[in-house]
Chains A and B, each alone.
Chain A
């Protein structure tokens, strides 16, 4: 049977996490359909149809899905689910919001945040803030799965799936969109960046983060933060990396003034190379990093930035 992937998008662009979710769906071994539900989202449907390995795109272009509210989106997925052996979405705040609703209405379990696929019914997922990896078997007739995007490589392009229109499902009318406040950033998206420069309480202030910014400029890096830095108001909350924030797995993660609590480590431990810059040589991050530099970040960061500039020229 076929697997359904629910696409994530802003009605104009297909999110990178969906390319990664399709890659996980292909690993299940069946044909893959992608559902694109939104308003004026034709371009997203075309982008999904171009993904390698996708058989069909189901396009539902309707004002009901203008704000991607969980209740109507879940209704639509439920109306389609019986044709599929599995339904997948990325384990983003959106996927985490509507997918358990789908699972409960189908009265099946959900497998959250999978990081590995051993077979059509056997999955690997982290528990206890990533301190333990669990192997779970799900034998429900329809498997509802959210996928940790950083654990799967994105699929390429070159596919030519057919695009079919599907009707909107009844809106249950349980919730209403009021407003949204998005953090503006010209940097690469945190979850997809090749390099992440992340700051913690040790950075000291919002001004201190400007030092991280200038280093990130040299590396074309995204900026991340620990919960302590977010709670102190140095940066907005969507910068947070960790168990309760975003999970990242860049090639290079530079942790500046971050002690390295397990909740933070859970969000970045799969980074290829971890660098710790910290004054405290006893900090767990210093112990765990691939390269640790013990020193005052206010001296180290400008020197590092200048060094990178010199390397480039």
Chain B
């Protein structure tokens, strides 16, 4: 079985971003960048399938600037067999990314696409579902458990109120939630080995997909600030404040 894992290069989750003062966007120059945490979980799951003998090949793909090579090297250090970078300097909406990934799926014919449920920069939570729709496959979103059945994949999903389990015929798209696994710590020998693995770079244009979309971000701003809080000395004062000042009890 061949597994395709799309990964995204994003501002590291530990970094606090701020809007530019003119509101034109978020300044991410010189910030620490990393693989989107949900994509690390997808990568880990794909490599576990490979180690269990279920997957025979794991291919990582990223759509982004030349610097996204680093993210793909990380994917290779996790254990991906090879990587593909579709280069573009544009920041593209999920609807466009899903067009491009559908074209990659057409070229690569994977049996399973494993990807993060959302990127922590745009917080969209769309691309996996959009890809599944475009290629006409079933989808298992927000997976916290994944098992291979006979010609199908059984996905337990995290939903409001608990979990739901669905069975999907293969090929299928699965998006990962936080509790699916704990990504491994990358060891130096694997990072060294990853440098020798094949990483194919092509311009995104080579796929021939339309990169236009009807959506654009026009400005960004800080969220409204809360007024400074107060320290209360004891339970009595807290109750008094909640009752008389905030009037919420």
Contact = CB atoms under 8 A, between A and B. Distances in A.
A2 B47 CA distance: 47
A135 B217 contact: yes
A150 B126 CA distance: 20
Contact of B164 (A104, A179, A195, A269): A179
Contacts of A219: 249
B139 A126 contact: no
A45 to B, nearest CB: 22
Contacts of B249: 219, 252, 308, 311
- Chain B interface size range: 35 or more
A133 B218 contact: no
Query: By CB atoms of chain B within 10 A, which of A130, A178, A287 has the most?
Result: A178
Contacts of A262: 16
B138 interface: yes
Given A92-B160, A100-B133, A101-B133, A293 B213 contact: no
A76 to B, nearest CB: 14
A97 B141 contact: yes
B238 A291 contact: yes
A110 B159 contact: no
Interface string B209-232: 000011111111111001101111
Interface string A70-107: 11001000000000000000001110111111111101
Contacts of A133: 220-223
A100 B130 contact: yes
Contact of A175 (B11, B168, B178, B216): B168
A262 B226 CA distance: 15
Contacts of A129: 120, 123
A127 B130 contact: no
A11 interface: no
Contact of A291 (B123, B137, B158, B229): B229
Chain A, interface SS category: mixed
A308 B229 contact: no
A237 interface: yes
B138 A132 contact: no
Contacts of B158: 93, 237-238
B208 interface: no
Query: By CB atoms of chain A within 10 A, which of B160, B167, B242 has the most?
Result: B160
A109 interface: yes
Interface in A273-313: 273-275, 281, 286-295, 300, 303-304, 307-308, 311
B126 A100 contact: yes
Given A175-B169, A178-B154, 14 more contacts: A93-B158, A96-B129, A97-B142, A104-B133, A105-B133, A127-B220, A131-B18, A132-B19, A132-B221, A132-B223, A135-B220, A137-B215, A177-B166, A300-B235
30 contacts: A97-B129, A100-B129, A100-B133, A101-B130, A101-B133, A103-B130, A104-B131, A104-B133, A105-B134, A109-B94, A109-B95, A110-B95, A128-B120, A132-B223, A133-B221, A135-B217, A136-B216, A176-B167, A180-B159, A180-B164, A181-B164, A191-B160, A251-B248, A252-B249, A273-B248, A274-B226, A290-B227, A290-B230, A295-B234, A304-B238
